Structure formats: C-alpha cells, structure tokens
Amino acid sequence: MNALTFDRDVWTAAGETLLGDAIALRRAIHAEPELGLDLPKTTAKVKAALAGLPLEIREGPSTSGLVAILRGPANGRTVLLRGDMDALPLVEDTGLAFTSLNQGAMHACGHDTHVAMLAGAARALCERRDRLAGTVMFMFQPGEEGWHGARFMLDDGLIDPLPDAAFALHISPNMPAGVFASRAGPLMASSDKLRIRVIGAGGHASMPQDALDPVPVACEIVTALQTMLTRRVSVFDPAVITIAHIEAGTTDNIIPEDARLWGTLRTLSERTRATAQDGIRRVAENIAAAHGARAEVEIDRGFPVTVCDGRVVDLAERAAKALFGEDGWMTMPHPMMGAEDFSYLLQKVPGAMAFLGAAPEGGDWRTCCALHSNRMVLREEVMARGIAMHCAMAEAALSGDLEL
C-alpha cells in the first residue's frame, strides 16, 4: 500500500484545534433545528462560520443549501465534500443543555455534526490552500430526510461542472467512537413509499354478506407481500417491505368502505427494485380482485441505492489508517437498509460515504439509542477526526492518490 501524500500531523492537529469551534457550531444548530428544504437559521449559521474565508458561494432557487468553492493554486481536479443540514420531526428527550428549542424538531440523525465537521474542514483547508492541487467544493445540503435536497441542488446547477470525486461522512452512535466504516458497492438501500387503498363496500357488522369487507382483504395483502418477496426476490439481492400503518373504519359495528395501507420498500439494486414494485402491484390488485374488491396502488419513488466506488472507499480506508492507525477503519460486512440522498451524487460521480462512530461516553455502542431516536446522543469529540478525515480525503484525491 503506497504512502499517501498528505501530512498526517497537519490534519490531525487541525481537527483538534478546530474541535472547540465545531462543538459550538454543532450545539447552536442543534438548539434550533429546521426541517425540509428551507433552513434559514441553519444556513445563516453556516455562512457565519465561513465568513472571511476565500470561498466562492453558490446558492440556488430551490433550497437554502449552498456550495462553497475553494480554488487551490493549481488548476487540477475537483473534489466535493458534503454535509447535510436538516433535522427530523421529533420531540427531543435527551436532557442536553442545548436541547431543541423548536418543539417537534430535533437533530436526531447527526446532521448538526455533519455541518460542523464540514465547516471545520473548510476553514482548515482554506488555511492551507497552498497545499491543494485543485478545487474543493463544500456542499451544505438541506432536505436529506426524504426531501431530495441533493437532487434539487444538482438540478439548480450548483454542482456544475461535476466534481471528479465526492465524499461524505455520516455520524453513528452505534459504532465504536472514532472508527470510520464503509464498503465498496451498495452501502445503503433505495427507499420507496407505498400507499395501497383497498376498496370494498360498507355495511352493518352483523351482516357482512351484504357488504364487501376490505379489512380482511387488506390483511391478506400484507401477508402475501411478504410471501411474494421470499419467492420472487433473491436472498443475495434482497428487498424489505414494511407495512407500518393500517387504517380502516370508524367504530366497531360498521364495515368500512375502504382500508388503507402505508409502508416502504427498500432494495439494494434497481433490478430488485423494479421486480418488487411490479410484484406489489400485482399482488395487491389481484388479491383484491379475487374477493370482488379493488386495490389502488401508489408507489412514490424515493432515494436511489447508495453505491460507493471501490477506488474512493480504498482511499478512505488508507486515509483513516494513516491518520488514526489500523484500528481507525472497519470494512462493513454488508449494506444497511436505511436510505441516503447522497446517492444522487454517487449516480453521477465516483464517490463514497463513510460512517464515523460516535458512541456516547459510558454507553455501549451496541445498545445505545440509535439514529432517529428522540433520545439519541453523540460523543462530540469524534468531530476532530471527522474534520481531519475530510481534509485528508480532499488533499489525497487532488494530489493523485485516487486513481480515476
């Protein structure tokens, strides 16, 4: 394994030096979480953190996201580093001194730390601009939690021309603190929303023969969907269907006219995604028809599969081990079935996402509250490593350590 061009001590020291600022920014963002594509307070905090730096700022009409561009002295490659900014619709129950002041919104997925690490990396790389053999794009993105923020920023032309490579970090409380992890190929799943309406005919509960009860039909569809997956989808290219919400009726003695099902479909390839979507429609519509009912199926396509380029993953592994030793990296044995809209970038650009372990001090990373929990807490000190990793990845990719 060839030595990387960056100086380990420079970036680890920068991470430690900037940790205090990163913690302060993270806490400020955490206390005022915002949802969706328009995050005016968060964007203002990002701009304040970047003020005075030699950056070109790009903004677009569709979101409050921004891309900050740092041009090194050499006109070489371009590498993009990304941090997402939006929160989740949760009521926080952590007891933190900087707990959410916005009722019904919480940074329960670590995006506050992603922003803080990326802003720290921007400052560190600006201070050492003369080291850069190309351009770094810092992508501060809203709307990751189901709002397709990355796609909107691409459509707005904020990342035009496309970079040569892209890299993102995602914090995780369910990994040992300070360890980076990723894998080549599928890292996270696609995610589609399912809505199925089973239409029958209402009536009196004492006379079901005079009605067409949609409830048992809906229940049969739920069970049949799971059977369809086991018989139509390979276990080596899996899919997960979860029907998470069922709604029908108004009281105990009335057969309702319809029943509604809501759920999600997650897959690790476009081929399985298409197979499963076709199977969902076929199963729902034909089971309903077999009972004399009808089924209306809506599938809202969500994020694509997050696929990491093996060359960028290899660079990330080498960088993590160079910075923090052999124990600084873990290759993930299998993908996660969560979804991530960084996938839109990875469809167009060689790149990778890596997780950064942030298990809280005194907690067991195997059992502590996970991402999207309203009790989720993190070890903030690992952000120093995240800053260093961003900087090392940028310098190494621009210096030719990444073979493209």
pLDDT band at 2 (very low <50, low <70, confident <90, very high): low
- Yes or no: say if 115 and 41 are a contact pair by the CB < 8 Å rule: no
Q: What is the mean pLDDT of residues 357-366?
A: 85
Say which residue the tokens 């599938």 belong to.
299
* Mean pLDDT, residues 374-396 taken together: 95
Residue 151: helix, strand or coil by DSSP?
Answer: helix
Residue 60: the pLDDT is 95
- Residue 394: its H or E element: helix 383-398
| Higher pLDDT, residue 313 or 74 | 313
Q: 3-class DSSP state for residue 100?
A: coil
296: helix, strand or coil: strand
Residue 400 has pLDDT above 90, yes or no: no
Using one digit for the tens of pLDDT, what is the confidence trace for 94-124? 999 999 999 999 999 999 999 999 999 999 9
Return the number of other C-beta atoms located less than 10 Å from residue 224's C-beta: 16
CA 257 to chain centroid, in Å, comes to: 38
* Mean pLDDT of the chain, nearest integer: 95
Q: CA-to-CA distance for 152 and 158, rounded, in angstroms?
A: 9
For 354, counting Cβ atoms within 10 Å of its Cβ (0-12 exposed, 13-18 middle, 19+ buried), the class is buried
Quote the CA–CA distance of 374 and 381 in Å, as a whole number.
21
Answer yes or no: is pLDDT of 132 > 70. Answer: yes
Query: How far apart are alpha carbons 385 and 340 in whole angstroms?
Result: 22
H or E element at residue 41: helix 40-50
3-state secondary structure of 217: helix
Residue 81 token pair: 């580093």
Please tell me the predicted confidence (pLDDT) of residue 76.
87
pLDDT at position 1 over 80: no
**Stretch 345-357: mean pLDDT, rounded?**
97
* Closest of 400, 395, 389, 404 to residue 14, by C-alpha: 389
- What is the distance between the alpha carbons of residues 71 and 230, in angstroms, rounded to a whole number? 51
> Mind listing the pLDDT tens digit for each residue in 51-91?
999 999 999 999 999 999 999 988 789 999 999 999 999 99
Share of the chain above pLDDT 90, in %: 91
Give the model confidence (pLDDT) of 257-278 as tens digits.
Answer: 999 999 999 999 999 999 999 9
pLDDT tens per residue across span 269-310: 999 999 999 999 999 999 999 999 999 999 999 999 999 999
Please determine, for residue 182, whether its predicted confidence score (pLDDT) is greater than 70: yes
Do you know the residue count of the chain?
404
Please determine, for residue 178, whether its predicted confidence score (pLDDT) is greater than 90: yes
